[in-house]
A = this chain, B = another copy of it.
Amino acid sequence: MIIVMKPGAPKEAVNNVVKTIEDNGLTPHLSEGSQLTIIGVIGDKSRLNNRNLELAPYVDKIVPVTESYKLANRKFHAQPARIKVGKAEIGPDTLALMAGPCAVESEEQIMLIAQAVKKAGANFLRGGAYKPRTSPYAFQGLEEEGLKYMQEAGKATGLYTVCEVTSLEAINAAVKYVDLIQIGARNMQNFYLLKEAGKCGLPVILKRGLSATLEEWLNAAEYIMSMGNENVILCERGIRTFETATRNTLDISAVPALKSRTQLPVIIDPSHACGVRAYVPALAKAAVAVGADGLIMEVHNNPECALSDGPQSLTFEQFDTLARELKAYAALSGRTL
C-alpha cells in the first residue's frame, strides 16, 4: 500500500500518517520529493482495514500494490490448475467441450441433445434446471425434475453434467444429480451462494458478472476457495458495454489477462457472449486460438422452438461441423479434444 500526500503537506500531517502505520504494527517508508511525499507500507495491509487513511489530513490518495485474493493468485500458485471430473481433466493440456440446451425442457429433449453432442465430440453436457430470467413471466426451469433428466442423459452417454444453481436448495438438489455446478453471471457477487458452493464438494464453474472486473471475479473465486473448494473454473461469457450489435461483448483478452493472474482454468461461453447463432462458430475458434481451456455452448434439437435462448443455440448439424473444425485449432494450441 502506498500513501500519496498532497503537495505542500505539512510535516505534522506526514507524521500523523506515519504514526498510524506504526501504531498498527507496520513499517512506513518515506520518499520525500520536491513536490510531494509518498509513504510506502509493505506487508499485511489488513491490519489497516479499519483505518481509512484516505481521510487523514493532506492525504491525496491510497494506491494498493498487492491483490486481496491469495488462493486464486498465480503469484503463489505458479502451476496451472488441473481440475479432474471423473476421467476428464480441465486444464492446460485439454480442450473441454461442453454443450447442451439453455434449459432442460423434457426427458426426451435432453436425452436427444446429449446423444447428438456426444457423437459430435463433446465431453460435458450443459443444461439449465433453475433458470434466472429477466422477467418473472418467462419459463423458470424444471428444477429438480430437470436435474434428474440431466443425470439420466449423462449416464446414458458418458457425458459429465453441469447445471446452474441459484439458491441453497438448488445446490442441495444438484449435488445429488450432476457432476459440476455453475454460478451464473447474475450471482457472481451473491456471496452467500458462493460460500455454499464452496462447501458442496463439486467443482464450480464461476461465470463472470456482467460488469465484473477481473479483480472482483478473482475475489469471487476466492470466496469459494476460502471454504475449502479449490476446483473453480472461470467462465468468460461477455461483459456489458455500450455496443448493442451483440447481446454482450466477449472480452477475449480476459483469457491471457487471467492466465497471468491466476492458476485457475478459463473457459469461454460464446453463445451468451454474442447472443447470435451465426457468430458462435467464429468466436469458438477464436476462444481456442486465444488459449481458453474449454468452451461451453448452447445446442438445441429445435432452436426455433427453444423455451430459452433459442436465437443463440446451434443446431446439431452446426455443432457437428464446428466440433470438427475445433479439433484443428485445439491441435495448433497443443491441446487434445
Name A residues whose Cβ lies closer than 8 Å to a Cβ of B.
Answer: 2, 4, 6-7, 29-38, 40, 42-43, 46, 49-56, 60, 63, 65-66, 68-69, 75, 132-139, 166-168, 170, 186-187, 189-193, 195, 209-211, 213-216, 219, 222-223, 226, 239-246, 249-257, 260-261, 273-274, 276-279, 282-283, 285-291, 303-307, 310-311, 325, 328-329, 332
Contact = CB atoms under 8 A, between A and B. Distances in A.
21 contacts: A6-B75, A29-B31, A29-B38, A38-B40, A49-B139, A54-B310, A55-B311, A68-B137, A69-B135, A132-B191, A136-B191, A170-B192, A186-B191, A211-B211, A243-B251, A245-B253, A250-B251, A253-B274, A256-B279, A256-B282, A332-B332
B252 A286 contact: yes
A126 to B, nearest CB: 19
B216 A134 contact: yes
A190 B190 contact: yes
A327 to B, nearest CB: 11
Contact of A290 (B166, B213, B285, B291): B285
Nearest to A246: B253
A3 to B, nearest CB: 10
Nearest to A281: B256
A307 B134 contact: no
* Identical chains bound together, number: 4
A329 B260 contact: no
B136 A219 contact: yes
Contact of A256 (B43, B75, B278): B278
Contacts of A134: 68, 189, 215-216, 219
Given A52-B311, A278-B260, A251 B249 contact: yes
A223 B140 CA distance: 12
A241 to B, nearest CB: 5
A254 B251 CA distance: 11
Contacts of A189: 132, 134, 186-187
Given A51-B305, A241-B241, A257-B279, 13 more contacts: A2-B2, A29-B38, A37-B42, A49-B307, A55-B304, A132-B191, A136-B195, A187-B189, A187-B190, A213-B243, A246-B253, A256-B276, A283-B290
Contacts of A33: 40, 42-43
A210 B56 CA distance: 29
A213 B190 contact: no
Contact of A222 (B2, B31, B135, B139): B135
B166 A191 contact: yes
**Residue in A7, A38, A305 with the greatest tally of chain B CB atoms within 10 Å:** A38
A44 to B, nearest CB: 9
Nearest to A30: B29
Contacts of A253: 245-246, 249-250, 273-274, 279, 283
B250 A306 contact: no
